[in-house]
Amino acid sequence: MSILVNEDTRIMVQGITGHQGSFNAIQMQKFGSKVVAGTSPGKGGSEVNGIKVFNTVKEAMKEDPNATFISVAAPYVLDAAKEAMYSGIDLIYILTEKVPYQDTMKIVSLASKLGKKVVGPNGPGVTSPFTCKLGIMPNQIFKKGNVGVISRSGTLTYEIVNLITTNGLGESTVVGLGGDPVTGMNYIDALEEFKKDDQTDAVAMVGEIGGTAEEEAAEYIKDRFNKPVVSYITGRSAPPGKRMGHAGAIISRGKGTAESKVKALEDAGVSVASYPYEIPSLLKEVLK
C-alpha cells in the first residue's frame, strides 16, 4: 500500500481554470489519478479535459471527491481550505506559495480540530507510483518500489527520486511537505504513516536549513521508528539570517543550521549523505 493517497483517492482541483490548476489537473490524469471535479467561481458548468467545473465546493461534492488540490492565489488560500474542510474533504493539498504563515497556522489548527490532513503549502504534493499523484511532481521520474521519500523541497526531491529510480530502486510514496515555516504535515506525521505502511522498507529524508523539524524527526526516529532512514540535508553553505528561496529556509538566532540537523540525525543512527548522488548507495546499504 501507499500512504495518504491510493486508488480510492478522488481529487478535486480548486482553481482548476487557472494556468497551474488546469495544467496539473491534466498531468495528474495522465499519471493515473482520479481527478473527479474542479471549482472556479463563475465558471460552473464548463469542463477542463473532461473534468466537470463547479462554482463552489459544495456543488462539486456531487462528484464525491475526498482530496483537494488547492491552486488559488495566496490571498484566497485560507478561504479555499476552509471551504474544502467544511464541505467534508479529508485531505487538503496546497500548492500555492507565499501564503501568509498566520493563514497557514489557522488552516492547520482548524484541520487538527476537524480531523483533516493538510499537505503543503508551497510543496509538490504526494505521489504514489502509479496509483495516485496529488501534486505537481514530474510524471516520468518514478518507479514503484519500497523507498518512502519525505522532503521539504520541490526540485531537489525530483533530483533525488530520479537518482533512486535510475539506480535500480523504486518509491512507495513520495511526500513533499513544503518549504514554508508552517506546513500541515511534517516529517514525523509522514514517518508515522510510513511506519504502518507494508510497502515501505526504508525512508529517504531530505531536509534543509530552518526550524527544528529535522531534529524532532531525529528524536522520533531514534525512539519510535521501525525502519532504516537515510538523509540528505541542504543549506550547509547558507549564511544566517537570510531566507534561501523558501520562506522556511532561514537560520535565525542560531537555530536551524544544517550542522545541527546532520548531528541530530547521525545521533539517531541515520546515514547522512554529503551529496544527493550518495542517497541510492546509502539506501542499498540499509536495504541489504
19: annotated active-site residue:
no
Closest approach of other proteins to the CB of residue 141, in Å: 7
How many angstroms separate the CA atoms of 136 and 24, rounded? Answer: 6
Minimum Å distance from CB 224 to other proteins?
A: 17
Name residues contacting other proteins, limited to 75-94 (CB under 8 A). 75-76, 78-80, 82-83, 86
- The answer to whether residue 19 forms part of the interface with other proteins (CB under 8 A) is no
Closer Cβ to other proteins, 240 or 269, answer by number: 240
Is the CB of 101 or the CB of 130 nearer to other proteins?
101
Handedness of CA 132, 136, 140, 145 (dihedral sign): negative
Beta-carbon-side half-sphere exposure of residue 233 (alpha carbons within 13 Å): 28
Rounded to 5 degrees, what are φ and ψ at 77?
-70, -45
* Minimum separation from the CB atom of position 67 to other proteins (A): 18
DSSP string covering 52-73: EEESSHHHHGGG---EEEE-S-
d(CA 112, CA 4): 16
Q: What does the DSSP 8-state code read for residue 239?
A: P
Return the C-alpha cell found at 185: 504535515
Query: Which residues ranging from 144 to 173 are in contact with other proteins (CB under 8 A)?
Result: 151-159, 162
Which of 197/273 has CB closer to other proteins?
A: 273
Q: Which helix (H) or strand (E) holds 273?
A: strand 271-273
74 binds other proteins (CB under 8 A): yes
Q: Which of residues 205-244 bind other proteins (CB under 8 A)?
A: 206, 208-213, 216, 232, 234-239, 242-244
248 binds other proteins (CB under 8 A): yes
C-beta separation of 67 from 12 below 8 A? yes
Of 10, 52, 117, 246, catalytic: 246
Count of residues touching other proteins (by CB under 8 A): 76
- Catalytic residue numbers, as ranges: 246
